[in-house]
């Protein structure tokens, strides 16, 4: 082979090597991207610190209920109503929660202007993932279903104080058993001053106001539950129609949780028709799907029980077993939601 031929062959080899390395350097940055496009198994979720589910102290809840009734009927524009609202704020603050008092005027269907207030107690307000638990705190201005003293207000031990008592006990539980999820405990005013023969909008004035004036713009909890009439003997909680329309998965989770905990005799998985209650206005006005746990022990007449809107809705109808069934179920619901079980 001549010297010239071997030199030109060397030149060809050098040019080819240069070309190959140039191509490699050019496409090299794209190689990881190609790799990224091939399906990779998802990274494991960050470990969640598991928190034991605390016991719901029903004796403490009972005292919270008794205290409300001791103020007298919590009818708007009365001293009892004002004093009880102040006590709620003090009590939530004592447990380290951040309280927002949301005052508003509500026009009663009979024409009176009520000075009303919703109370919002926030546990760990800085956390974005939040659980909303609500109850109404007012009691009815008249015992319209009673045989006597129909124009006098009722104690509302079950219809009002029971749901709030469970929420106050959950506040106390959160303070002593920290959990890394936000919880909002909302007490709606003027739920129970409506017209039994009138429009549904005459009821639930506090939740209607809150739904149009959220304490935080754009507020959207991860899950939301309303407690109403949860303290009477022989309480029966059926899967309520509106709750099933707006949040069927939450209903199913709570009812099967209650059954697992041994409270299946209170939480009846049968369906029942929808009820006008705060959850309806929360779902309509704020687009927040909310489940209502409300006792309807009877069919036909008096679905809410023989004490409903009567003077017999006093401490004598309260049964710690009913309070415990709801309190323990909701405490477990909060802590297991955090633990990632629910």
Contact flag: residue 159 with Zn ion (CB under 5 A): yes
Question: Are 294 and 236 a contacting pair, CB within 8 Å?
Answer: no
CB 229, min distance to ligand 1BN, A: 6
CB 202, min distance to ligand 1BN, A: 9
**Beta strands 182-188 and 223-228, pairing class:** unpaired
Contact flag: residue 203 with ligand 1BN (CB under 6 A): yes
Q: Which is nearer to ligand 1BN, 159 or 189 (CB)?
A: 159
- Strand (E) positions, 145-286? 182-188, 223-228, 237-240, 267-272
- Partner whose binding site includes residue 278, from Zn ion, ligand 1BN, none (CB under 5 to 8 Å by kind): none
- Which segment (101-109, 145-153, 178-186, 270-278) binds ligand 1BN by CB under 6 A? 270-278
Question: Are 230 and 267 a contacting pair, CB within 8 Å?
Answer: no
Contact flag: residue 163 with ligand 1BN (CB under 6 A): no
Alpha helices in 218-341 (DSSP H): 241-246, 248-260, 278-286, 320-338
- Which segment (169-177, 218-226, 263-271, 273-281) binds ligand 1BN by CB under 6 A? 273-281
Contact flag: residue 159 with ligand 1BN (CB under 6 A): yes
Q: Which residue, among 91, 232, 205, has the nearest Cα to 138 in the 3D structure? A: 205
SS3 41: coil
Radius of gyration of the chain (CA): 29
Tell me the residue length of the chain.
Answer: 342
Report the site for Zn ion in 249-268 (rule: CB under 5 A).
Answer: none
CB 245, min distance to ligand 1BN, A: 17
Q: Which is nearer to ligand 1BN, 259 or 276 (CB)?
A: 276
Which listed residue (189, 192, 313, 319) binds ligand 1BN by CB under 6 A?
192
Which listed residue (138, 155, 169, 228) binds ligand 1BN by CB under 6 A?
228
CB 295, min distance to ligand 1BN, A: 9
Contact flag: residue 91 with ligand 1BN (CB under 6 A): no
Q: From CA 251, how far away is CA 245, in angstroms rounded?
A: 10
Contact flag: residue 158 with Zn ion (CB under 5 A): no
Question: Are 173 and 183 a contacting pair, CB within 8 Å?
Answer: no
Q: From CA 98, how far away is CA 123, in angstroms rounded?
A: 7
Contact flag: residue 319 with ligand 1BN (CB under 6 A): no
Contact flag: residue 276 with ligand 1BN (CB under 6 A): yes
Which listed residue (240, 277, 292, 313) binds ligand 1BN by CB under 6 A?
277
SS3 234: coil
Q: Which is nearer to Zn ion, 132 or 190 (CB)?
A: 190
Contact flag: residue 298 with ligand 1BN (CB under 6 A): no
Q: Which is nearer to ligand 1BN, 136 or 253 (CB)?
A: 136
Question: Are 290 and 243 a contacting pair, CB within 8 Å?
Answer: yes
Q: From CA 156, how far away is CA 98, in angstroms rounded?
A: 27
Contact flag: residue 189 with Zn ion (CB under 5 A): no
Q: From CA 326, how far away is CA 133, in angstroms rounded?
A: 12
SS3 211: helix
Q: From CA 244, how far away is CA 272, in angstroms rounded?
A: 10
- Which segment (146-154, 207-215, 259-267, 275-283) binds ligand 1BN by CB under 6 A? 275-283
Contact flag: residue 192 with Zn ion (CB under 5 A): yes
Contact flag: residue 292 with Zn ion (CB under 5 A): no
Question: Are 237 and 162 a contacting pair, CB within 8 Å?
Answer: no
What is the contact surface with ligand 1BN in residues (CB under 6 A)? 159, 192, 194, 203, 228-229, 275-277, 304
């Amino acid at each position: 082979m001549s010297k010239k031929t071997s030199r030109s062959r060397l030149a060809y080899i050098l040019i080819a090597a240069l070309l190959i390395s140039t191509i490699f350097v050019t496409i090299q940055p794209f190689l990881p991207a190609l790799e990224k496009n091939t399906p990779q198994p998802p990274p494991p979720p960050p470990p969640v610190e598991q928190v034991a589910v605390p016991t719901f102290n029903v004796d403490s809840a009972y005292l919270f209920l008794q205290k409300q009734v001791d103020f007298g009927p919590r009818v708007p524009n009365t001293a009892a109503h004002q004093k009880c609202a102040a006590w709620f704020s003090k009590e939530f603050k004592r447990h380290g929660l951040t309280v927002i008092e949301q005052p508003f005027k509500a026009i009663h269907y009979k024409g009176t202007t009520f000075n009303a207030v919703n109370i919002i107690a926030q546990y760990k307000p800085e956390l974005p993932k939040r659980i909303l638990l609500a109850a109404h705190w007012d009691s009815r201005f008249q015992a319209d279903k009673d045989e006597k003293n129909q124009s006098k207000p009722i104690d509302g031990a079950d219809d009002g104080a029971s749901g709030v008592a469970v929420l106050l006990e959950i506040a106390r539980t959160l303070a002593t058993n920290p959990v890394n999820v936000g919880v909002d405990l909302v007490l709606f005013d003027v739920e129970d001053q409506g017209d039994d023969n009138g429009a549904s909008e005459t009821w639930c004035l506090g939740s209607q106001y809150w739904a149009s004036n959220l304490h935080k713009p754009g507020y959207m909890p991860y899950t939301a539950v309303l407690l109403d009439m949860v303290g009477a003997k022989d309480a029966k909680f059926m899967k309520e129609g509106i709750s099933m329309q707006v949040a069927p998965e939450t209903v199913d989770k709570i009812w099967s949780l209650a059954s697992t905990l041994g409270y299946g005799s209170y939480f009846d998985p049968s369906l029942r028709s929808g009820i006008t209650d705060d959850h309806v206005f929360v779902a309509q006005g704020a687009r927040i799907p909310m489940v209502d746990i409300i006792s309807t022990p009877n069919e036909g007449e008096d679905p809410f029980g023989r004490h409903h809107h009567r003077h017999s809705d006093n401490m004598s109808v309260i049964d710690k077993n009913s309070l415990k069934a709801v309190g323990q179920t909701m405490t477990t619901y909060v802590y297991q939601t955090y633990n990632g079980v629910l």
